[in-house]
Structure 1
Amino acid sequence: MLKDFSTGVGLLAKGFGLVFRSPKLLLIGAIPAVISSALLIGSLVLLATNINGIAEWATPFADDWSETVRTVTRVAAGISMLGAFLAVSMLAFTAITIVIGGPFYEHIAETIEDTELGGVPDAEQVPWWRSALNGVRDAVLLIGLAILFAVPLFAAGFIPVVGQTVVPVIAVCVNGWLLGIELTGIPFTRRGKTLKERRAMLRTKRATALGFAVPSYLLCLIPLAAIVVMPAAMAGGTVLAHRLITGQPGRVPAYQPYRNGTQAS
């Protein structure tokens, strides 16, 4: 399991290598991430500046408690709310980024698969608008799952010790998993695979998928890091999807500069 997890981490590192070797791919992938990052940071700042009032509103039962207990309870509530917001907003951020940058990320995935991984025979040519609608539909389902998990995790956050240690780890794994499902969407869609099929195939290599997705999720939590992480994660997700679908490692050959969208011979 640990070996498979480290393999997943290696796929993310490979994604960074792919986009750093081609600044054009990095720039293309950064554009939609910049727009989504601005929206995410703005909403997070708005929540953080009002978190005290929101925590008080959410814990009216603590009004008559002693000041110390009331303060601890509301601090825990505020932390849990911020954690839940980050969990859901990160998936929403990824979904919005992918919808906004659909053509950009499709270009990244197609370039990597066609020039580095042997191409996709009989790849489906999905119009951008249809791809965007499919992305929105899948994102709504995944965000719904995130909310379903966020509610009990929010409640568990009030449990002493466990709420501050075990719960955050579980939350990162759950949200990393959901993020990994989103990041592998384009390669699966090119082959006509549904969200259900994508999830089933990722489950066959759960440790590898988590090794790829959890670091991607944690890096995206760093302010503005997602501008670089998203293109790399999309590249790594493409390699991961290729391995799952073809059953082949998809070893990336030595780099040769791109010329007009293809590799130079």
Structure 2
Amino acid sequence: MRDLRAGFQYLLQGQRWVARHGKQYGFGLLPGLITLVLYLAALVALGVWGTDFVSWATPFADDWSSPWLGLFRGFLLVVLFALGLLLAVLTFTAVTLLIGQPFYETLSETVDRDVSPDGTAPKSGLPLWRELWISARDSLRILLRAALWGVLLFACGFIPFLGQTVVPVVGFLVTGFFLTEELTAVALQRRGVDLRARLALLRSRKSLVWGFGTPLGLAFLVPVVAVFLMPGAVAGATLMARDLLGEETRDGADDQYDDEAATALPHPARQPGSNVPGR
């Protein structure tokens, strides 16, 4: 429970940080707005041509009598739209981060400099095109994992009782984990932590990750809300990445870790002589 609360505190701290740095907040809104327009256009297209697609995909039902034909294709249309919304939630962060890579790199570095004892921020030393390539490659890998989970959970949704109780909860936990991975990747990638090491690091602190990512995933169900929370989510993920790697925060810094975060359960990165994955 302590790690769950600490994860949520990082989410709040990130929102408070951007609220105190209006220029950085406005800068960080642009990628989310661009992504929102693209996703709304895709969902509108799905709504307009979804019926034609379902009819084309089910020619075997053309001769069914009423009302079975309408009920069957209506059900498939609802399923198709629900799947589209699920994929939009799962992929919104990845696409926004890909579009906004330069924006969020700058935002994350600013947060690091603000809270670092020496006022510096780690840099990858890679050219922009290389960073974009790594980000796109890793995002694709995460999206494939998320899609597999989505298909599995969708299938499990038809199990009586479990599909209406346990499966939605597991779905939000999975969404929260992948959202957190994508967001912390901005800060961890600059520190040379590759995808495999990032996943291992996050799995070692699942409660912290769920406390951060699951409430965010619930909020991201409303695309407009996602746009306005995204800059703060990147800032909070940067603060959490520092915690995951056991990095210190200077006294008196904006959004200094509060008692919940500072007293979070110990993890390997904080133990003397331990090795941080990917470093």
Query: Do both proteins adopt the same fold according to a TM-score greater than 0.5, normalized to the shorter chain?
Result: yes
Structure 1 length normalisation: TM-score? 0.83
In the TM superposition, what are the counterparts of 1:1-265 in structure 2 within 5 Å?
2-54=1-53, 67=67, 71=71, 77-118=76-117, 123-246=123-246, 253-254=253-254
Count of residues paired in the alignment: 253
Give the letter aligned to residue 18 of structure 2. Answer: V
Distance 2:78 2:9 in 1: 32
Contact conserved, 2:18 with 2:25, CA < 8 A, in 1? yes
CA distance in 1, matches of 2:67, 2:181: 44
Q: Offset of 1:236 from its aligned partner?
A: 0.7
**Aligned to 1:192, what secondary structure does the other structure show?**
coil
TM-superposed CA distance for 1:62, in Å, is 7.5
Q: What is the letter of the counterpart of residue 113 of structure 2?
A: D
Task: Tell me which amino acid in the other structure corresponds to 1:98.
Answer: L
Whole-angstrom CA distance in 2 between matches of 1:240 and 1:228: 20
CA distance in 2 between counterparts of 1:198 and 1:212 reads 16
Distance 2:74 2:250 in 1: 48
1:122–1:20 CA distance, 2 compared to 1 (3 A): closer
The separation in 2 between residues aligned to 1:250 and 1:159, in whole angstroms, is 51
Per-residue deviation, residues 128-163 of structure 1 (Å, max 9, x unmatched): 211111110011101111111122222222333433
- 8 Å CA contact 1:80–1:157 kept in 2: the answer is no
Scaled by the length of structure 2, the TM-score of the pair is: 0.79
> Any unmatched runs of 5+ in structure 2?
256-279
For 1:246 and 1:220, the matched residues in 2 are separated by 29
Say whether the 8 Å CA contact 2:31–2:100 is kept in structure 1: yes
Maintained 8 Å contact 1:184/1:238: yes
Residue by residue over 1:66-92, the C-alpha shift from the partner in whole angstroms, topping out at 9 and shown as x without a partner, is: 847973x66654444334323333343
8 Å contact from structure 1 (residues 109, 187) kept in 2:
yes
Identity %: 35
Separation (CA, whole Å) in 2 of partners of 1:50 and 1:251: 56
DSSP 3-state at the match of 1:43: helix
Structure-2 separation of matches of 1:234 and 1:253:
17
Are the counterparts in 2 of residues 62 and 70 from structure 1 also a CA contact under 8 Å?
A: no
Q: Distance in 2 between matches of 1:251 and 1:204?
A: 27
* Separation in 2, partners of 1:52, 1:251: 59
Aligned to 1:225, the other structure's residue is in SS state helix
